[in-house]
Chains A and B, each alone.
Chain A
Amino acid sequence: RKEVEQDPGPFNVPEGATVAFNCTYSNSASQSFFWYRQDCRKEPKLLMSVYSSGNEDGRFTAQLNRASQYISLLIRDSKLSDSATYLCVVDSGGGADGLTFGKGTHLIIQP
């Protein structure tokens, strides 16, 4: 069974701090990796894809470690608006049924 594991949190972090969380996946054949953001009672929205070489988008950095089968998300200079649940999503290929969602990590940025 394909599994994606995340620490559910909550992570309580002061505004301006740096926070990082990891996600582990069980299927070594997984091909694509994403981070989604979900606000309370809203739909998930794509935050960023995760590339093998790692990638950065403003204050957000995503990294992939295939050997240890985990991906990470780093948020620098955290803002109050970063408070949300962050979903790790892994695509093991084979079409639309290949996407596996983690249960999410809840992040609370405190003023």
Chain B
Amino acid sequence: NAGVTQTPKFQVLKTGQSMTLQCAQDMNHEYMSWYRQDPGMGLRLIHYSVGAGITDQGEVPNGYNVSRSTTEDFPLRLLSAAPSQTSVYFCASSYFLGPEGGYTFGSGTRLTVV
């Protein structure tokens, strides 16, 4: 049982480049989300999905796109990378939310935009 798998673990991009961060989970979780974590900040929600074919924006969606064609995969696309997108990105999934829930996080992608 792999849990939540994120690739790549590290990435350096030049300003203006695009790329896709991959996230896959094998737990049949309905909920999946992308967060970014910056020094001195809490995790901030970028986009989320409550099931295949359904996505919605979080707190900081600008500059990012997502899609959810399958239950397992939830890729995050950076359209035109900017230095402000330098961050650690975490993908998370959950079967459901509530007292018995809680998110399982991937190990993160450390992105640097130069």
Judge: A and B partners, yes or no: yes
- Shortest distance from the beta carbon of B7 to any chain A beta carbon, whole Å: 14
A75 to B28, CA, bound (A): 33
Do A44 and B90 touch across chains, with their CB atoms under 8 A apart?
yes
- Shortest distance from the beta carbon of A50 to any chain B beta carbon, whole Å: 8
Contacts of A100 in B (CB 8 A): 42
A95 with B50, Cβ < 8 A, contacts A32-B99, A51-B99 known:
yes
Interface size class on chain B is 20 to 34
Stretch of B14-22, B77-85, B104-112 that contacts chain A:
B104-112
Interface size class on chain A is 20 to 34
Answer yes or no: A31 CB below 8 A from chain B CBs: yes
Do B42 and A99 touch across chains, with their CB atoms under 8 A apart?
no
- Shortest distance from the beta carbon of A38 to any chain B beta carbon, whole Å: 9
Q: Which of A43, A87, A103, A104 contacts B106 (CB under 8 A)?
A: A43
The residue on A at minimum CB distance from B3 is: A43
Interface residues of A in 75-93 (CB under 8 A from B): 87, 91
A104 to B102, CA, bound (A): 17
Answer yes or no: B41 CB below 8 A from chain A CBs: yes
Contacts of A102 in B (CB 8 A): 42
Answer yes or no: A4 CB below 8 A from chain B CBs: yes
Contacts of A87 in B (CB 8 A): 42-43
Contacts of B99 in A (CB 8 A): 32, 49, 51
Answer yes or no: B33 CB below 8 A from chain A CBs: yes
The residue on A at minimum CB distance from B108 is: A43
Q: Which of B48, B100, B106 contacts A96 (CB under 8 A)?
A: B48
A100 to B90, CA, bound (A): 15
Contacts of A99 in B (CB 8 A): 33, 45, 97, 103
The residue on A at minimum CB distance from B33 is: A96
Do B40 and A32 touch across chains, with their CB atoms under 8 A apart?
no
Given contacts A43-B107, A49-B100, A99-B97, 12 further A-B contacts (CB under 8 A): A32-B97, A44-B43, A46-B104, A49-B101, A95-B48, A96-B32, A96-B45, A96-B48, A96-B97, A97-B58, A101-B35, A101-B43
Residues on B lying within 8 angstroms of A by beta carbon are 31-33, 35, 40-45, 48-50, 56, 58-59, 90, 94, 97-108
